[in-house]
């Protein structure tokens, strides 16, 4: 998101923003709030990076408070344990912490250019291996032009100590070594650097907004899926970080195909699909494109094919927070309220779990969990709306404390960890009320899932999967799983009422028999009690469910 770009346009739109009709609230599948924390009063928060296995989360901000370090051992009562301040230089204006990423022993924080003329521009890297609740600064790496978003290499702990910094100031993706501080290379879309306006041959706001780094499961090439604001998706081979090579592209050009504002790209674990999100703003509905990238393994140049799209439906009221502002008569922060109204329907950051689950943060529309089993017609399975009514929306300052979900991400414990520009950090559970078709995806055992009536000793099976419980596993869960073909797999356990107890991503499993065991914890930190449970495993389009006694 870039505030400066929309300011002029919004000023002329205020009458429209306040006079548009408000659609009515319709039925849906709400998630359940587990816990929340606003680390400091009147905060202006950005993205979040959580580690459910170590019970910690890191929340960025656009103010001089920096990064909040949050203890989530009790998910219902998150606790602030530390501040990572970002007033790095002697300049009166501070650097922000617009984005952050956590992988293994490291946390990377981005600092943008527009924080202030003398503010630090680049990234800060912290060591969180020793004490995740009190990170130790490893180094700061200056990158002229500032860094809007930053990603750590997924293998940062195992031989690839790299960070990928995306700049709105110099349009480039900069790859750095976080252990030495060395800048290894820079990559830019051909439409962004060395290009002289006017369009359509080059665009005017063409910066590298976001990247998503993943080792391709077949070719073993390390690919960065870079969202270039005006030129679309660029797939970049960064196997050798010193020589990034573009190996694929899905072109945006507003003048020729109407596409613009590529904001976030997320591949599935198989790399056969990429979800590419637009952040349109200005009263338009930014959404997600589903791209077929099965031919994009980095060995030859590819052009992904568009196969489907998802846009948020208008079932929540359009900006309950703005409606509250109008009714309260508090127009002192009218511009900020108008900005929020402009982004009411817009999609923002994404996350992926498996091949068929997409999580979308949607500004004023909260969190949306999308079932993408049918890539041509993705469907909403569940949602969560912070501050979903007028009375809550305007309890504090109407402008800065209304709902604006910035990022939402799957935790390894089955919960969702999210950030809100005004409300801070919150945790929700993927729990469905009722028998929606997306129930299994949204944290509740699907009704009529075939094998739920089996006895405790029976195995659930489909043509390609077989699941059985292993007795005598002590405090934890243990299962035997057989898969007929290689693919990413996930297993989840539900209580007798169909509520999610715990979930575990198993990664990409080769064909054959596998043993799966883990000791989950329920909300209060105890192990699950003895009783009857259901377990469900999913791999690709197949799933199997069993009932067992724990």
CA distances from 491 to 403, 477, 506, 518 (A): 33, 11, 7, 11
- pLDDT band of 220, cuts 50, 70, 90: very high
Compute the average pLDDT of residues 268-277.
96
Compute the average pLDDT of residues 327-340.
48
pLDDT at 549: 73
pLDDT at 157: 96
Which residue, chain included where needed, has tokens 């998503």? 212
CA distances from 537 to 92, 111, 445, 513 (A): 54, 41, 11, 13
pLDDT at 27: 38
Q: Give 214's strand partners.
A: 223
Q: Quick one: how many helices (H) and strands (E) in the chain?
A: 6, 37
Assess whether pLDDT exceeds 60 at residue 417: yes
Percent of the chain scoring above 90 in pLDDT: 42
Most confidently modeled of 95-99, 267-271, 279-283, 544-548?
267-271
**Domains identified in the chain and CATH numbers:** 1-30+318-346+348-443 (no CATH), 460-549 (2.60.40.4070)
pLDDT at 526: 53
Closest C-alpha to 447, from 460, 463, 434, 462: 434
Question: Using N-to-C axis directions, what is the helix angle for 3-11 and 334-342, rounded to 10°?
Answer: 110
Comparison of pLDDT for 321 and 544, the residue scoring more: 544
Residue spans of alpha helices (H) in 243-366: 254-257, 320-328, 334-342
Closest C-alpha to 535, from 465, 433, 436: 465
Q: How far apart are CA 533 and CA 547, in angstroms?
A: 6
Is 46 within 8 Å of 406 (Cβ atoms)? yes
Comparison of pLDDT for 437 and 110, the residue scoring more: 110
pLDDT digits (tens, 9 = 90+) for 346-391: 788 999 998 999 999 988 778 999 999 999 999 988 888 876 554 5
Comparison of pLDDT for 252 and 264, the residue scoring more: 264
Assess whether pLDDT exceeds 90 at residue 297: yes
Most confidently modeled of 44-48, 175-179, 278-282, 382-386?
175-179
Q: How far apart are CA 4 and CA 519, in angstroms?
A: 49
Please provide the DSSP assignment of 80-126 as one string: EEEEE----SSSSSPP---EEEEETTEEEEEE-GGG-TTS--EEEEE
pLDDT at 377: 94
Please state the φ and ψ torsions of residue 340, each to the nearest 5 degrees.
-65, -40
Compute the average pLDDT of residues 3-24.
32
DSSP three-state, residue 428? strand
- pLDDT band of 201, cuts 50, 70, 90: low
Assess whether pLDDT exceeds 50 at residue 224: yes
- Please state, rounded to an integer, the average pLDDT across all residues of the chain: 78
Residue 130: count of CB within 10 angstroms of its CB: 9
pLDDT at 475: 61
Assess whether pLDDT exceeds 70 at residue 257: yes
pLDDT at 451: 33
- pLDDT band of 448, cuts 50, 70, 90: very low
Assess whether pLDDT exceeds 60 at residue 469: yes
Comparison of pLDDT for 221 and 53, the residue scoring more: 221
Assess whether pLDDT exceeds 80 at residue 181: yes
Residues constituting the chain: 550
| Residue 421 neighbours by CB under 8 Å, 6+ apart | 44, 45, 46, 404, 406
pLDDT at 413: 87
Compute the average pLDDT of residues 11-29.
35
Residue spans of alpha helices (H) in 177-281: 254-257
Task: Enter the tokens of residue 108.
Answer: 């990377």
């Amino acid at each position: 998101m870039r505030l400066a770009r929309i300011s002029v346009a919004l000023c002329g739109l205020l009458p429209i923003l306040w006079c548009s009709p408000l659609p009515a609230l319709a039925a849906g599948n709400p998630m359940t709030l587990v816990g929340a924390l606003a680390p400091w009063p009147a905060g202006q928060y950005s993205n979040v990076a959580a580690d459910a296995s170590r019970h910690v989360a890191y929340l960025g901000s656009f103010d001089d408070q920096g990064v909040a370090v949050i203890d989530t051992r009790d998910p219902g009562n998150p606790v602030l344990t530390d501040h990572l301040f970002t007033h790095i230089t002697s300049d009166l204006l501070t650097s922000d912490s617009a984005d952050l990423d956590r992988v293994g022993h490291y946390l990377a924080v981005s600092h943008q250019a527009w924080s202030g003329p003398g503010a630090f521009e680049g990234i800060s890297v912290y060591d969180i291996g020793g004490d995740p609740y009190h990170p130790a600064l490893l180094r700061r790496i200056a990158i002229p032009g500032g860094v809007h978003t930053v990603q750590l290499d997924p293998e940062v702990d195992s031989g690839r100590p790299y960070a990928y910094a995306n700049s709105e100031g110099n349009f480039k993706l900069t790859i750095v070594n976080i252990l030495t501080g060395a800048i290894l290379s820079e990559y830019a879309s051909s439409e962004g650097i060395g290009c002289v306006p006017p369009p359509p041959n080059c665009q005017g706001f063409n910066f590298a907004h976001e990247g998503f780094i993943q080792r391709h499961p077949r070719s073993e090439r390390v690919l960065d899926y870079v969202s270039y604001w005006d030129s679309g998706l660029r797939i970049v081979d960064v196997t050798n970080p010193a020589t990034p090579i573009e190996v694929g592209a899905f072109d945006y050009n507003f003048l020729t195909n109407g596409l613009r504002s590529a904001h976030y790209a997320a591949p599935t674990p198989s790399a056969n699909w990429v979800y590419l999100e637009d952040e349109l703003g200005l009263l338009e509905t930014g959404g997600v494109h589903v791209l077929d990238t099965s031919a994009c393994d980095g060995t030859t140049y590819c052009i992904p094919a568009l196969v489907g799209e998802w846009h948020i439906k208008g079932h929540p009221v359009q900006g309950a927070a703005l409606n509250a502002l109008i009714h309260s008569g508090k127009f002192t922060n009218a511009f900020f309220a108008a900005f929020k109204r402009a982004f009411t329907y817009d999609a923002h950051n994404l996350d992926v779990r498996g091949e068929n689950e997409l999580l979308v943060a949607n500004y004023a529309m909260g969190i949306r969990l999308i079932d993408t089993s049918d890539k041509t017609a993705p469907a909403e399975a569940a949602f969560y709306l912070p501050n979903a009514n007028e009375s809550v929306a305007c309890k504090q300052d109407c402008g800065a404390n209304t709902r604006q979900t910035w990022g939402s991400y799957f935790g390894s414990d089955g919960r969702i960890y999210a950030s809100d520009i005004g409300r801070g950090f919150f945790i929700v559970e993927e729990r469905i009320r009722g028998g929606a078709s997306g129930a299994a995806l949204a944290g509740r055992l699907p009704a009529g899932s075939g094998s739920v009536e089996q006895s405790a000793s029976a195995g659930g099976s489909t043509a390609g999967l077989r699941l059985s419980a292993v007795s005598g596993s002590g405090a934890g869960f243990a299962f035997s799983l057989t898969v007929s073909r290689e693919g990413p797999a996930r297993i989840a356990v539900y209580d007798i009422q169909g509520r999610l107890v715990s979930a575990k991503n198993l990664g990409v499993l080769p064909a054959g028999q596998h043993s799966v065991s883990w000791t989950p914890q329920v909300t209060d930190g105890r192990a699950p009690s003895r009783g009857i449970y259901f377990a469900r495993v999913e791999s690709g389009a197949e799933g199997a469910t069993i009932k067992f006694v724990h």
